[in-house]
Structure 1
Amino acid sequence: MKKIIVFALLIIAQIGIAQEDSTRGYRVHVGEEAPQLDFNLLDGTSITNENLKGKVVVLQFTASWCSVCIKEMPHLEAEVWQKFKNKDFILIGIDLKEDREKVDRFIAKMQVTYPFTIDEDGSLFESFTLPKAGVTRNIVLDKTGKIIFLSRLYDEKEFEEMVHIIDSELKKA
């Protein structure tokens, strides 16, 4: 009987893992409206879904302890922010559950210049992701606020695809 219970639990765990793999840890999908956004950047600028309309937006979820985030951030700075910042575009770094002092040190260490906010309780992150999802995510919104791209971790091909999608979206009238 114990073997049957253990076997059943293993199957249930595998199903759970398979479901997360297919969603990549997201609760949102491409084509959906972004969840409600209402936060302030570190410089005090208010961000809402409404005031992002008309811009292509990248929401980059990150943290100072995340090695993959650290690997990706120089690419975001050089190949996304510097390339598109003078267009109808904004890239927002969203640090997950760290204090302001740590985030300020992290931004300085990474030498990124794009705007940042802190998701102090993780509620913004969890509006996009499944419970216990991993960080290192980029969410691209079109000018109407719809999700047009979701990434997970840092993969060069996926990153290039994201840059292409941003560029194409900015070229639309």
Structure 2
Amino acid sequence: MRSDRQLHAARPWSRRDWLGAAGTLALGTTLGGRPREAQAASLEVGRPAPVLALHTLDGRTVSTGDLRGHVVILTFWATWCGPCHQELPILSDYAAKHAHQGLRVLGFSLDEPASLPEVRKMAEGWSFPVGLLGSAYAGGYGRIWRIPVNFTIDRNGLLADNGWDSREPAWTKERLERVITPLLS
């Protein structure tokens, strides 16, 4: 029986394969336009989600690995991101209403440490913890190259929603009901 690698190697390259390889070499991006660093080989819906720790503004550390049994949303944002200003209050309200069902949200700000006062002011009153990411690289989630971007982990620690693949990057009430509410049942 042939492995996936052998089957792939036996198949002639398509025009898409050649264009993708050329884009990767010339531009450092994939055919879909995503930077190579944003691609994570194991970042696939239905597979184990990479563990990521949030170092909160109040000095705590919350790891996705410790939240098994909960539905977890990782949200990446910044104070200078216009769509984030619309999305995050909606997400905070939804998280507060569904915390009793096991929903947890971790907010990773891409702001610089010098912007900490603005981060604190924007996050004031939110129902979820917030911290500075520290760099544009978020472990197994890759380099955060667009915001807002969100990832959802189900109760079993599996990736349930991959923000890189979403055509709707920001949370809306309708999207939260469609994507998250079924995971909470």
1:139 to 130, 135, 151: 151
Paired residue for 1:170?
Answer: 184
Please list every run of 5 or more consecutive structure 1 residues that lacks an aligned counterpart in the other structure. 1-7
Residue type of the partner of 1:83? K
Q: TM-score under structure 1 normalisation?
A: 0.72
Q: Which residue of 2 aligns with 1:104?
A: 120
**Shift >3 Å, 4+ stretches:** 11-18
Is 1:20 matched with 2:36? Answer: no
1:123 to 137, 150, 170: 137
Kindly provide the amino acid, as one letter, of the partner of residue 132 in structure 2.
I
Question: What CA deviation, in whole Å up to 9, does each residue of 1:64-95 have, x standing for no partner?
Answer: 011111121122122x2122122212111110
- Deviation string, structure 1 residues 115-161 (Cα, Å, up to 9, x no partner): 1121012332x5313x46212011110112111012353275xx624
- Kept after mapping to 2: 8 A contact 1:38/1:49: yes
Shift in alpha-carbon separation, 1:39–1:113, aligned structure 2, 3 A: closer
The alignment's C-alpha RMSD in Å is 2.9
Q: How do residues 151-166 of structure 1 correspond to structure 2 at under 5 angstroms?
A: 151=163, 152=166, 153-154=169-170, 156=172, 160-166=174-180
Question: Do the aligned residues in 2 keep the contact of 1:63 with 1:98 (CA within 8 Å)?
Answer: no
In structure 2, give the amino acid aligned to 1:84. Answer: H
Give the total of aligned pairs. 153
What's the offset of the Cα at 1:162? 3.8
1:87–1:170 CA contact under 8 A, matched in 2: yes
Q: Output the CA distance in 2 between the equivalents of 1:15 and 1:115.
A: 34
Alignment TM-score, normalising by the size of structure 2: 0.68
Instruction: Show structure 2 runs of 5+ residues with no match.
Output: 1-18
What is the 5 A alignment of 1:71-82? Answer: 71-78=86-93, 80-82=94-96
Aligned sequence identity (%): 22
Amino acid at match of 2:177: V
